[in-house]
Structure 1
């Protein structure tokens, strides 16, 4: 599975990208990624934040749950989860969900062109267990409720416009979302052991108030062809959305979702897999599977949130494992990029790159305490491939 040119030129900070190159250079279906030497070299010793990074990279703490964000009056939320970055003039904004129930919601931190924190504020309140989500090409943040018959909320990263509940996108245990500007649809994952993979087609692109919710139908194999089928009742009552369509393909715990150049990547935590869907070809396959790692010792377990860089690398965060963010390269090599120490009761969430690709943001959801009130949000700066 060659992605060397596939993701090059990605627009970081949105779930959509206009990119050149092709994904495949060989067979229709390729073998999943295997361990190897990563593009950034070995992890060094733990730094002052107990994070092991490759040479040339540094980390800093951006915010801590229950404490005011430095230089602001805003108290950072508990259990920080899914996130994304947005260009803001010469600076940028990092948005982060709060995975607590009740009161979840989302907050944001604003940065100057030099990376200094210039503000922080709430963008969504009064919702439940906001886990992951996704950005849109029109610069909104889709915050997803990971609860039974949960909603998707469309929010304003600048905190000016009121958040809007998007009922037409279905009521189920939402996890992540990724926008496809070519086909003008939003892909959605479902965090259930027998969950499904969905797409929402708005009646009008850029307006999520109405549209059609569909579910992916396919066989039980790890690769093959698929079709889409409409979900008769997106409200999910009395029958759950995942049980309304015969032949809907089941995925074991849908998590992160990322779109680039005609393909969708999403993860399933129940079986430690990264999937690739090609909507144009109507095919799906495995990009990574820890059970298929040659020689044992899979470097990536507990797969969760996923994002991509303009170099073509995928960055996958771990929920559990040894608390790493791993990189899957265009040459199908998987290797650790960073490791957080002393926080075994936590998980890594919300990886997202600044618009210029020079900084990676992420959170340790429960930090050193193992409690939702102990979350820590970090920034890593260094020579990322671009």
Structure 2
């Protein structure tokens, strides 16, 4: 996919935001996150990989599009996008989508307990424009097609079991997914300018072959209580899923999605927002909005994929902007964590932490070339808060 470009058409006013829940316990702010000093200090000069990091952190390249992953026979896929990590004995596996069409799919890299690459393999083929997705508690990867009436595919990170298309999760321009094991639902974002925020409730938790697809309903504001309504026809055969329920809340370009501690965070690129859905209270609020930043330039623009650490920090990747991954802390401070230099025609994708929280993986989807054949996947190690 080429660079996305969206114009802001409105500027919203200040609204009250409550950042509750155990992950952001005791935090309440009149406005969403504001710039301030980060937990790791300022980013330094670019390293050998062209990445600017805080003191104490270092980076390495783990894969490049079109080249064999070191020590393996697997050729890394084009346009690496959404990703996740899975514990694998003492090591782990990093899964990555391929956002090309035809034959996007997904691949994976296997690491030992010391971080050495021990293997790489394909886990999904024959699909289109696999953008983001999400992991499940039963250790599968949900790979989402970002095309009109696209599907969700449930895949095996180990590449042993065949991928399965999950029709019941709806046909629309899928972006990301996040599992809520408490309420036993999967949240889903939709990447169109008038998209919806969905939840899928499987008939049996752990089996995504059947269930109920719903859309979030809410008034016109950016903060308040929400309700959910069932989508009559998840296939979208006659009417797009987002247009089947009266009063469905519209979101401008749904992107990344991350769940932890009764909370689902998701991003919308068209208005540079990070949203917080409190699943226990069934309430929606803004965590970040670039138009509400005061006292200087917004540090986070082009919001895209999002992940979180066990400390409660959110890591939000930029599609464009300054090619940053920014951190939003539980006390509502937003600041750049890293920046990739010399790759302004790319976007940062697939941020995910290793199971022990000491390594962060992500990709530059188009690298220095600006094309899907130039993708680079990185690892950053250092004193991450845990």
Q: 1:274 matched to which residue of 2?
A: 274
Q: Is the 8 A contact 2:27 2:331 kept in 1?
A: no
Pairing of 1:113-262 with structure 2 (within 5 A): 113-262=113-262
Q: Unmatched 5+ residue regions in structure 2?
A: 1-16
Taking the aligned partners of 1:25 and 1:372, their CA distance within structure 2 comes to 41
Q: 2:22 matched to which residue of 1?
A: 6
Taking the aligned partners of 1:278 and 1:2, their CA distance within structure 2 comes to 10
Q: Secondary structure at the match of 1:53?
A: strand
How far off its partner does 1:4 sit? 9.5
Q: 1:19 matched to which residue of 2?
A: none
Taking the aligned partners of 2:369 and 2:31, their CA distance within structure 1 comes to 39
Query: For residues 186 and 32 of structure 1, do their structure 2 counterparts lie closer, same or farther at Cα, with a shift above 3 Å needed?
Result: same
Total equivalences in the alignment: 370
Q: 1:43 matched to which residue of 2?
A: 43
Q: Is the 8 A contact 2:357 2:384 kept in 1?
A: yes
Q: Is the 8 A contact 1:4 1:311 kept in 2?
A: no
Does residue 326 of structure 1 match 2:326? yes
Q: Is the 8 A contact 2:20 2:27 kept in 1?
A: no
Kindly report structure 1 stretches of 4+ aligned residues shifted beyond 6 Å. 1-5
Taking the aligned partners of 1:325 and 1:245, their CA distance within structure 2 comes to 35
Taking the aligned partners of 1:286 and 1:24, their CA distance within structure 2 comes to 16
Q: 1:385 matched to which residue of 2?
A: 385
Q: Secondary structure at the match of 1:168?
A: helix
Q: Secondary structure at the match of 1:368?
A: coil
Deviations 1:57-86 (A, max 9, x none): 000000000000001000000000000000
Q: Is the 8 A contact 2:347 2:365 kept in 1?
A: yes
How far off its partner does 1:278 sit? 1.0
Taking the aligned partners of 2:337 and 2:292, their CA distance within structure 1 comes to 21
Q: Secondary structure at the match of 1:306?
A: strand
How far off its partner does 1:236 sit? 0.5
Q: Is the 8 A contact 2:108 2:122 kept in 1?
A: yes
Pairing of 1:47-62 with structure 2 (within 5 A): 47-62=47-62
Q: Is the 8 A contact 1:5 1:312 kept in 2?
A: no
Taking the aligned partners of 2:19 and 2:291, their CA distance within structure 1 comes to 22
Q: Is the 8 A contact 2:130 2:143 kept in 1?
A: yes
